[in-house]
Amino acid sequence: MSEHVHTRVGNGTGFITLDRPKALNSLSLDMVRAMTAALLRWRDDPAVAAVVVRSSSAKALCAGGDIRFFHEAGHATPQGGSALLEDFFTEEYALNHLIHFYPKPYIALMDGVVMGGGMGIAQGGPRCGVRIVTEGTKMAMPEVNIGLFPDVGGSHFLSRAPGRLGFYLGLTGLTVGAADALYLGLADHFVPQAELAALSDLIDSTAGGGLREAVATFARPLRAGAGESELAAQRALIDRHFGHDSVAAIMASLRGDDASFARQALRAMEQRSPLMMCVTFELLKRGAALDVADCLRLERNLVRRTFEHGEVLEGVRALVIDKDNAPRWNPPALADVTEDMVARFFEPPWPAHAHPLRHL
């Protein structure tokens, strides 16, 4: 078990509290294993009717995977990986699958930063998932900023966002707030931070079997407080620019638009890994036709290829190790990315019968 994951059962509800505040609850392998163990233990326990996932800190539910660990483990062998690194992604994606298909209400309190791996533990499936955002929510899939791609099921939930909004989020890595999360279909309810104590009291006092409806009833009159969605206002612009058939065409289209929103998106993309933007674009195209398990299996393939290539190691170095914010992307320019380079990422590292997520 992990010292950073606290679990308990009260009034028919299982509580998972992430408690690694200095790292914004970035997920370690021990944390993934602790969450998985609790959810498996409660899945068939009649004394547990619902699950609540929350943080000990208002700063973040979860900022993602532990990227310092990625950097250290990724340098452990010449092939850019180690057994612990392999285990981390296999077990994290299996946890994402478990959460998506959890048979009991799974309520995620998405206050503060919810990015990358944090999205993976918050995006419960449509039948039982309950996702609550606040005015403090900072949501993103920023993986292209570190030379990775939107994983933890991102190829599934981003590819199903309205219009081309998933491509916008995946390629820019930009952050959105509560109103946009609701518009994207990546959140269900808005509760202002001032009401979180009352919500907590409600959760503690409501039997697990009635928790989902009680939360919905509590949050329903509060939804207007989320405000208006900027993505809704910019939907036509996003669909027009991000509807092109390549990353190069998208960026060329954005360059021809003087609107501040378009300029912001272009500036973000100019800082990202050219190769991983192209991989992300192809991933989201494929993900739209795949179910959750196949999306996670595809992402698991890509993780192996990404660490073999080394782009993510350079991205993490620049962002959190040396902190020079000057990644040396390989290749450095979008014009240098070839179709063969992108195709290499989609070549399965394992035969189907040996895939680490074959049992999903």
Contacts of 78 (CB under 8 A, 6+ apart): none
Contact 148, 312 (CB under 8 A): yes
Residue 319 located in a structural domain: yes
Residue 272 located in a structural domain: yes
180 is written with which tokens?
Answer: 């946009």
For 220, the domain range is: 5-354
Tokens 């669909």 belong to residue: 239
pTM of the model: 0.96
> Which of 14, 112, 117, 118 does the annotation list as catalytic?
117
> Which of 66, 92, 111, 151 does the annotation list as catalytic?
151
Residue 298 located in a structural domain: yes
What's the pLDDT score for residue 81? 59
Comparing CA positions, the residue from 84, 63, 67 lying closest to residue 18 is 63
Comparing CA positions, the residue from 346, 250, 224, 230 lying closest to residue 297 is 346
In angstroms, how far is the first alpha carbon of the chain from the final one? 23
> Which of 92, 143, 180, 299 does the annotation list as catalytic?
143
Residue 137 located in a structural domain: yes
206 is written with which tokens?
Answer: 């409501």
> Which of 64, 65, 166, 173 does the annotation list as catalytic?
65
| Residue 151 a catalytic site member | yes
Structural domain count, the chain: 1
As beta bridge partners, residue 114 has: 62, 139
Contact 153, 147 (CB under 8 A): no
Contacts of 201 (CB under 8 A, 6+ apart): none
Comparing CA positions, the residue from 302, 276, 355, 360 lying closest to residue 96 is 360
- How far apart are alpha carbons 52 and 15 in whole angstroms? 5
Contacts of 360 (CB under 8 A, 6+ apart): 94, 97, 293, 296, 297
Residue 360 located in a structural domain: no
User: Is the pLDDT reported for residue 17 higher than 90?
Assistant: yes
Residue 344 located in a structural domain: yes
**Rounded mean pLDDT, 61-65:** 96
User: Is the pLDDT reported for residue 152 higher than 80?
Assistant: yes
Quick: pLDDT tens for 275-284: 999 999 999 9
Residue 212 located in a structural domain: yes
What CATH number is given to the structural domain containing 130?
Answer: 3.90.226.10
Computed over every residue of the chain, the mean pLDDT equals 96
Residue 359 located in a structural domain: no
- How far apart are alpha carbons 273 and 284 in whole angstroms? 16
Contact 182, 229 (CB under 8 A): yes
Quick: pLDDT tens for 111-141: 999 999 999 999 998 888 999 999 999 999 9
The DSSP 8-state label assigned to residue 320 in this structure reads I
What's the pLDDT score for residue 19? 97
| Residue 188 a catalytic site member | no
